[in-house]
Amino acid sequence: MTPTPSVDLAPYTTFGIHAVAEYFVSVTTIDTLLEAISWARTRGASFHILGGGSNVLISGDVQGLVIHIRLQERSASVEGDVVTVRSGAGENWHQVVTWTVERGWAGLENLALIPGTVGAAPMQNIGAYGVEQSACFHELDAMNADTGEIKTFTKDDCNFGYRESIFKRELRDKCVITSVTYRLSTVPTIRASYKDVTEELAVRGITQPTIMDVYSSVVAIRTRKLPDPKVIGNAGSFFKNPVVSAQKATTLHESHPLLPVYPQADGSSKLAAAWLIDQCGWKGVREGDAGVHANQALVLVNHGSAEGAQIIDLATRIQQSVFDRFGVELEREVNVW
């Protein structure tokens, strides 16, 4: 295991921001992952874990060692109507979702076409179209960066929240996810109540959808509404949808009747960040090569040669304008290095 010095990270992130890693290594086994961490530790250098790079904004050159996770593993066992699927952290998320849907294993179909790797799914607790990965999550294995020990984390251990987990907060840079296990089913529960999915199925004339119908609809919706990182650099939704008190949501809705409000099970309300940003006039704004996507205000983009600092500055001003107008704080969903 010999890291490569001075590697441009642009090809390894969907934002495509040019930034140089002091050292870089791709790891395909648990042993090489341990070697890479040990290499950094013995030199007193920091290390950074990079998966698919689909939820990362790099603000400048990165000191220390960037460890690119490429742990590949895919297996499944069926017991009755329960399917236990285990996947390496470096597997492509969408490919794993496709693999399960093609076999009739239900649970992940609403999460199709989300970019990134399997290891990032529990870290971010990814979600889309009414479903979060935590709904099917069973357990994961993660390496303790100090001891090299592999520990199994249950669902409760992970402290999942809205785009949150213990790995994004308390255990960030302390544990490295190596594999994830999901519990799926051969007896589908179709989840198609989300407005966009319902409308897409109606357009297709489908009244009794299968999991493949839901999967195909989600792929079509995401393809139509979100920019392809291969065409224009982006990391998907840059901000979380803000969660506020029911009273705050009611007050805002009285002043802004078109504001989408989604009541939550705990009595709070989730607001549509894209709507708030759009109302502040940011949709389609471009400043040099940094901008806001013309069709989706929640997506910040790199039109070619934007720097990470430019994207961060733009994001900060968007946050301030939304707070000034609505009194609502937007929190970044994207991880900034």
Report the alpha-carbon distance of residue 118 to residue 180 in Å, rounded.
7
Q: Is 169 a catalytic residue?
A: no
State the catalytic residue, choosing from 86, 163, 191, 332. 163
H/E segment holding residue 233: strand 233-237
User: 237 an active-site residue?
Assistant: yes
Q: What is the 3-state secondary structure (H, E, C) of the chain?
A: CCCEEEEECHHHCCCCCCCEEEEEEEECCHHHHHHHHHHHHHCCCCEEEECCCCCEECCCCEEEEEEEECCCCEEEEEECCEEEEEEECCCEHHHHHHHHHHCCCECCHHHCCCCCECCHHHHHCCEECCEEHHHCEEEEEEEECCCCCEEEEECHHHCCECCECCCCCCCCCCEEEEEEEEEEECCCCCCCCCHHHHHHHHHCCCCCCCHHHHHHHHHHHHHHHCCCCCCCEEEEECECCCEECHHHHHHHHHHCCCCCEEECCCCCEEECHHHHHHHCCCCCCEECCEEECCCCCCEEEECCCCCHHHHHHHHHHHHHHHHHHHCCCCCECCEEC
How many CB atoms are closer than 10 A to CB 41?
Answer: 14
Q: Is 333 an annotated catalytic residue?
A: yes
| Spatial CA neighbour of 331 closest among 241, 253, 257 | 241
Secondary structure element (H or E) that encloses residue 300, with its range? strand 299-302
Separation CA 281–CA 297 (nearest Å):
9
What residues are paired with 291 via a beta bridge?
286, 301
Catalytic, out of 237, 269, 307, 332? 237
Q: Which residues are part of the catalytic machinery?
A: 163, 237, 333
